[in-house]
Chain A
Amino acid sequence: MAAPSKKPWWKSLVPGWRAVRRLSQLAFLVLFAWLFRSTAYSDSNILHRPVNLFFHMDPLVGASAMLAGKVLLTAFWPALLLLMLTLIFGRFFCGWVCPIGTTLDYVHRFLRPITRRTTIWGQKYVSRWRPMRYIVLLLVLLTAFFAWPLVGYLDPFSLWMRHWTTVLDPAWYSGSTAVVAHSYHYPPWLARPVNSTYGFMANHHIIPFGSSVFHLVGVTLGIAVIVVLLEFVARRFWCRYLCPLGGMLGLVGRWSLVRRLPVKMCAGCRAKENCGVLCRMGSFDEKGKLIPESCNLCMDCVAKCPDDVARFKVKMPPATPATPVGLSRRGVLTALVASAAIPLAAKVTDAIGPNDPPPHLLRPPGVGGEADFLDLCIRCGECMKVCVNNALQPAGLEAGVKGLFSPVLIPRLNYCEYDCTLCGQVCPTGAIPNLVAAVKDKTVIGKAAFDRKRCLPWAKNEECLVCQEHCPLPQKAITTTTCLITQADGKTKLLKRPHVDRNLCIGCGICENKCPLDGPSAIRVYRTEELPPHGGAQMRRRLRWGHPESHPRRGQQ
């Protein structure tokens, strides 16, 4: 029989720090979901909510974007705040805030019978991989500096945002509308409750407004599934061994004021699971010594300690942290070589493949040079989420290896709405400039051109002009000439044939989208070397000096 607990009986009634931590995790997950849902048009040209808050809190994204773009991005000031908090509390962010960490914790809770067995087996083998996150961190920062930022593929928010945007949300929409669509032909007593439930959920933004479909769904889903499945190898595998943001916060947290005591596992521990088994972050090394930069302050050890020995205290950190980072010389060298080699490899593949961007590669409005854009873009998918028409898609390899997951406009799937400026408002790094509507209306994305071998009035003498009808420019960038046509039966008729006015066309792509032909459109938007009049270099310079227009929520009318 176990010895009677030393805790007074009432202590079990007071919610401990662990409960507060769980509440915090849930609150931040809800915040993430709410900001995600707010990343959409809702009857206003301007987004009023700080939808990219999580990115601006992320010192890794900020550092990487600044290193890659060689600019100062003032919008990332909340990241400094986080770093300061980390100096006080250590790596609390991973345990209390991060939505990926929360998701992984929930996965573990849900699958505990299976994960417990596998993780105990796995923990033995993987603990020596601890320095891996620093190698990943080095890789991210160095590749950023050497102009192929890998941050978008390894930063937790980019990963999660992309997953929610391109996989979860579309699936959720299709699933829920499939139910209501099927019930539509049912008798009213059955159709009505389904329809009103759907209406309620749609009105309250629980279901997104419209359907969306994205490229690379399988790849994005696959990455997310791998991150989740690694939970079977060790709890919080992603956070312990891979996450570069966790690595960065851990490095800073080595000097934190709030520290876990005692710094070694107790010899005569009488708990069923001692700290070493309990710790989801694997914060105790083989000798039972605490590694402070791994601890995410989940408070499990405090809650479970039978003798109230495990506790967190404010304590001046030692000048040199007790435990080494554990990064071997070999590890650092590997990271260095890899980060120099990866951009080089990308250059080589680019050199083998087409050097110039392909003619149909269109970028979001206001984006100037391809190289500058890829430096700053963090592949987060915010622009794809907010796009009212689901026109922005993650690029596969069409923009080169370096362009993977960066946004491209594919007009045949959908076009860029004339007066909409949302993508520039949500872009966390300003890779897509934040343009006012009056400027965006004149910003060139590309130039349209007809394929006269397929266009109905040109190829078949049939009337059409759907393209001109939709052209949003007041002066119409599609003009017509009237021709007298002699038909096969000898009769004549007047027919209007369309032309593109290249001086006016901005390449929004509505013509390409609405062209009624099956298959490829008879009018397509081509990439142009004419830089956007207000985009490109000029915009970048403003951004560099923290011009008000670069701020996501200012600079609008």
Chain B
Amino acid sequence: MNRRDFISQVAAWSAASAAVPFFDVESARSDPKAQSSLAVGKGVDYASLVNRVVARVGGMGAFVKRGDKVVVKPNIGWDRTPAQGANTNPEVVKAIVKLALDHGAKEVLVFDRPCDNPQRSYHNSGIRQAVASIGDHRARCEFIQNWKFVPVQIKRAKVLHEWPLYRPALEADCYINVPIAKSHNLTRLTLGLKNTMGVCGGNRGHIHQQIPQKLTDLALVIAPKLTIIDATRIMLRNGPSGGSLTYVKVLNTILASTDPVAADAYATTLFGLKPADIAPTVAAYRRGLGEIDLAKIKILEA
């Protein structure tokens, strides 16, 4: 590269970044007509449980190709300990990251935009240490950096037409959503669809008005290849931040599905509720993002 090329490239990219690139992303399920399947398993060794459950939905090799950029998106929303059940279990996150690394991922990013202080949330959730303990430089648990949010137009949106989203999440070859199943005072439960709010920039409080429709719109552009719901501990009330061990119930359960709606629908039953009770799940189903009817989902015991 000579100097002229260098200057023109810098000029071109500066101009492009000044013009604010609009990311034109549109994704939906690859094959909406195929039957949704969902794997669910129980166990106390979370690493082997993750391996079993992921193997039942086709194995990590079906989602992560050699050289892929992978994003694992847990819930690191709160300055809470793993026992308090407000964040995704660090052992579960670690096992998923390891699986992706084993299948030749070029890099595995783990991040969330916390509601509480980011440093305290990353540390006290145990997720940062869990990812670091793998000791592989390809796996990184990174803090959100504000300049990486890019404005995204959601073309088929009904309510949320434009929102700043995290560029590394949009650019990932494989986006794996790893929510924890817990109660939520507004949507009753927070599961996979709600966990996507962690890649949203801006004033996220505004998403809470008409939240079912807005989460559905968001799911049009952030479509995980795989949703793994951590129900090793579930929070029964006073979510999403909780804070007392009395709200937490140990289920030692993990479920995985390529269908984000099916995963959320099944997880609802763990709380003794029906999928139709959760407005965001219903809204996403109506937009054709997945299956809500448990009878039509192929459930695989792992």
> Do residues B185 and A516 form an inter-chain contact, with CB atoms below 8 A?
no
**Could you say which of A41, A462, A465 contacts B120, with CB atoms under 8 Å apart?**
A41
With contacts A180-B147, A420-B120 taken as known, whether A463 is within 8 angstroms of B203 at the C-beta atoms is no
> B192-225 toward A: CB 8 Å interface, digit per residue (1/0)?
0000000000011110111100000000000000
- B35 CB–A CB distance under 8 Å: no
**Cα distance A496–B184 in the bound complex, in angstroms:** 13
**Cα distance A475–B120 in the bound complex, in angstroms:** 21
> Do residues A472 and B241 form an inter-chain contact, with CB atoms below 8 A?
yes
With contacts A389-B117, A516-B203 taken as known, whether A463 is within 8 angstroms of B209 at the C-beta atoms is yes
- The smallest C-beta distance from B43 to any residue of chain A, in angstroms, reads 29
**Cα distance A244–B205 in the bound complex, in angstroms:** 50
> Do residues B205 and A474 form an inter-chain contact, with CB atoms below 8 A?
no
Residues of A contacting B205 in the complex (Cβ-Cβ under 8 angstroms): 464, 466, 514-516
- B17 CB–A CB distance under 8 Å: yes
**Cα distance A184–B203 in the bound complex, in angstroms:** 22
- A121 CB–B CB distance under 8 Å: no
- The smallest C-beta distance from B195 to any residue of chain A, in angstroms, reads 14
Residue ID in chain A nearest B115 by CB atoms: A470
- A476 CB–B CB distance under 8 Å: yes
- The smallest C-beta distance from B29 to any residue of chain A, in angstroms, reads 28
- Among B9, B147, B211, residue most surrounded by chain A Cβ atoms (within 10 Å): B147
> Do residues B208 and A464 form an inter-chain contact, with CB atoms below 8 A?
yes
- A220 CB–B CB distance under 8 Å: no
Q: Could you tell me the dominant secondary structure of chain A's interface residues?
A: loop
- A124 CB–B CB distance under 8 Å: no
Residues of A contacting B204 in the complex (Cβ-Cβ under 8 angstroms): 516
**Cα distance A470–B115 in the bound complex, in angstroms:** 7
Residues of A contacting B240 in the complex (Cβ-Cβ under 8 angstroms): 469
- The smallest C-beta distance from B141 to any residue of chain A, in angstroms, reads 13
**Cα distance A419–B243 in the bound complex, in angstroms:** 11
> Do residues B16 and A185 form an inter-chain contact, with CB atoms below 8 A?
yes
- A177 CB–B CB distance under 8 Å: yes
Residues of B contacting A186 in the complex (Cβ-Cβ under 8 angstroms): 10, 13-14, 17
- A471 CB–B CB distance under 8 Å: yes
- The smallest C-beta distance from A479 to any residue of chain B, in angstroms, reads 10
> Do residues A466 and B208 form an inter-chain contact, with CB atoms below 8 A?
yes
> Do residues B13 and A418 form an inter-chain contact, with CB atoms below 8 A?
no
With contacts A418-B79, A463-B186 taken as known, whether A474 is within 8 angstroms of B13 at the C-beta atoms is no
Q: Can you list 19 A-B pairs, Cβ within 8 angstroms, ordered by A? A: A41-B120, A43-B123, A180-B147, A186-B10, A186-B13, A186-B14, A418-B79, A462-B209, A462-B210, A463-B209, A465-B185, A465-B186, A469-B186, A469-B240, A469-B241, A472-B241, A496-B185, A516-B204, A516-B205
Binding site for A on B (CB under 8 A): 9-10, 13-14, 16-17, 21, 79, 115-120, 123-124, 145-148, 184-186, 203-206, 208-211, 238, 240-244, 247
Q: Which 8 pairs across A and B sit closest by C-beta, in order of nearness?
A: A516-B205, A181-B147, A185-B17, A474-B243, A474-B244, A466-B205, A43-B123, A186-B13
